[in-house]
């Protein structure tokens, strides 16, 4: 969000909390992209705010409730508020439980186990959702339209559009089992809590093979996730690289170091294999060199962030 929107969004969240008897004297920006995430104090509430019409807030609330009911590791809603979407001044506001960061990092074993449990719970939840191919189609539409990606050189446009199409076909032709997925279970969407990792942000939830989710997490996490099809994972990693590249070329994208991402992701697609993971690419571009730097991480599908104060950094030990 632009700063003028951030100011209004803060006021909207504060107004909602006050109407529920939750005292707010301060707000801290935890994340700023297509949505704004705030910590409201002293009531200690995690508020997520989005412009009306640009959110899937009701879907996220209902999915989080259903996943919590089957014991999935998801961030719960704020218990002092009704589980619904609030509207103020052109914004939607949802209220969630705030967690202080529990540790500087979470082990790959714990991360993998939490993701496995999330996938298990998602197999028990029947909700309408798009396929991963719908997300690929969104990226293809950006690349195919010079008006939406005016800075993309023609040779790169042909290359990237072809790679997106060929990878989508290759993955579909494998005929792998599909299920409900998080869509972007990268470290920026995982909270480190005393009770273990919890997932947030189900905006990009879709159906597909679990390897599509695993293509968003560090290699060390994949090593502890059972039953992976390595060939399919490699194709999904390539696909995610191509999708991220497409988003970075979209007109109006405000991702930090956007130009470096545009160049480095195209180069990785041309030079691989091996196919780098997203955390490797973020380190190369300078967005994820350390746990502290991870606080400013934002991964595919949105814009830019100013801070994330409780997201997972993956430790190097099991």
What is the model's pLDDT at position 314? 53
Mean pLDDT for the stretch of residues 145-173: 97
First and final C-alpha spacing in the chain: 37
Q: Is the pLDDT of residue 84 over 50?
A: yes
- Listed as own residue / partner, the contacts of 121-127 with beta carbons closer than 8 Å and 24 or more positions apart are 121/67, 121/70, 121/71, 121/72, 122/67, 122/72, 122/179, 122/180, 122/181, 122/182, 123/179, 123/180, 124/70, 125/63, 125/66, 125/67, 125/70, 125/180, 127/59, 127/62, 127/63, 127/66, 127/180, 127/205
Q: What separation in angstroms does the CA of 218 have from each of 9, 45, 108, 223? A: 33, 29, 8, 9
Higher-pLDDT residue of 74 and 188 is 74
Share of the chain above pLDDT 90, in %: 72
What does the DSSP 8-state code read for residue 61?
H
What does the DSSP 8-state code read for residue 50?
E
What is the model's pLDDT at position 55? 64
Omega cis (within 30) before 306: no
C-alpha angle with apex 142: 277 to 222, nearest 5 degrees?
A: 15
Strand ranges for the chain from DSSP E? 24-32, 36-42, 45-51, 86-88, 91-97, 179-181, 190-193, 196-199, 206-208
Other beta carbons within 10 Å of 42: 10
pLDDT in tens, 163-218: 999 999 999 999 999 999 999 999 989 999 988 999 999 989 999 999 999 999 99
Question: Which two structure tokens, joined as six digits, stand for 38?
Answer: 């705030």
What is the model's pLDDT at position 300? 36
Strand ranges for 206-292 from DSSP E? 206-208
What is the model's pLDDT at position 312? 53
Record the pTM.
0.87
What is the model's pLDDT at position 282? 84
Query: Is CATH 3.90.950.20 correct for 108-296?
Result: no
Could you tell me the residue ranges of all domains in the chain?
3-97, 108-296
Return the minimum-mean-pLDDT range out of 34-43, 61-70, 282-291. Answer: 282-291
What is the model's pLDDT at position 126? 83
Per residue in 98-132, is it b (16+ CB within 10 Å) or e — as a string?
bbebeeebbbbbbbbbbbbbbbebbeebeeebeeb
What is the model's pLDDT at position 285? 80
CA pair distance 27, 9, nearest whole angstrom: 11
Q: What is the mean pLDDT of the chain?
A: 88
Place of tokens 């390897």: 211
pLDDT in tens, 277-297: 998 998 888 755 433 333 333
Q: For domain 3-97, give the CATH superfamily.
A: Phosphorylase Kinase; domain 1 (3.30.200.20)
CB 90 within 8 A of CB 11: no
240: exposed, middle or buried (C-beta count within 10 Å: 0-12, 13-18, 19+)? buried
């Amino acid at each position: 969000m632009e700063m003028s929107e951030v100011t209004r969004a803060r006021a909207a969240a504060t107004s909602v909390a006050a109407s529920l008897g939750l005292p707010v004297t301060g707000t801290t920006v935890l994340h700023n992209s297509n949505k704004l995430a705030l910590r409201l104090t002293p009531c200690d509430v995690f508020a997520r705010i989005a412009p009306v019409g640009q959110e899937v807030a009701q879907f996220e609330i209902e999915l989080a409730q259903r996943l919590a009911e089957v014991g999935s590791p998801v961030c719960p809603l704020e218990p002092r508020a009704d589980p619904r979407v609030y509207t103020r001044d052109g914004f939607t506001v949802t209220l969630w439980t705030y967690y202080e960061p529990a540790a500087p990092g979470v082990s790959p074993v714990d991360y993998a186990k939490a993701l496995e449990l999330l996938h298990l719970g998602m197999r028990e939840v029947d909700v309408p959702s798009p396929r991963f191919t719908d997300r690929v189609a969104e990226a293809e539409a950006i690349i195919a339209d010079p008006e939406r990606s005016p800075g993309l050189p023609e040779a790169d446009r042909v290359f990237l559009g072809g790679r997106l199409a060929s990878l989508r076909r290759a993955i579909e032709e494998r005929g792998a089992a599909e299920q409900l997925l998080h869509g972007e279970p990268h470290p920026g969407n995982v909270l480190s809590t005393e009770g273990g990792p919890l997932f947030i942000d189900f905006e990009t939830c879709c159906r597909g093979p679990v390897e599509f989710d695993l293509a968003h997490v560090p290699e060390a996490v994949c090593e502890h996730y059972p039953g992976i099809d390595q060939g399919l994972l490699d194709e999904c990693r390539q696909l995610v690289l191509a999708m991220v590249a497409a988003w970075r070329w979209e007109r109006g994208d405000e991702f930090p170091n956007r130009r470096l991402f545009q160049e480095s992701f195209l180069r990785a697609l041309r030079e691989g294999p091996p196919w780098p993971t997203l955390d490797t690419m973020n380190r190369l571009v300078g967005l994820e060199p350390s746990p502290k730097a991870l606080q400013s991480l934002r991964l595919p599908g949105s814009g830019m962030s100013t801070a994330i104060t409780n997201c997972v950094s993956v430790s190097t030990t099991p």
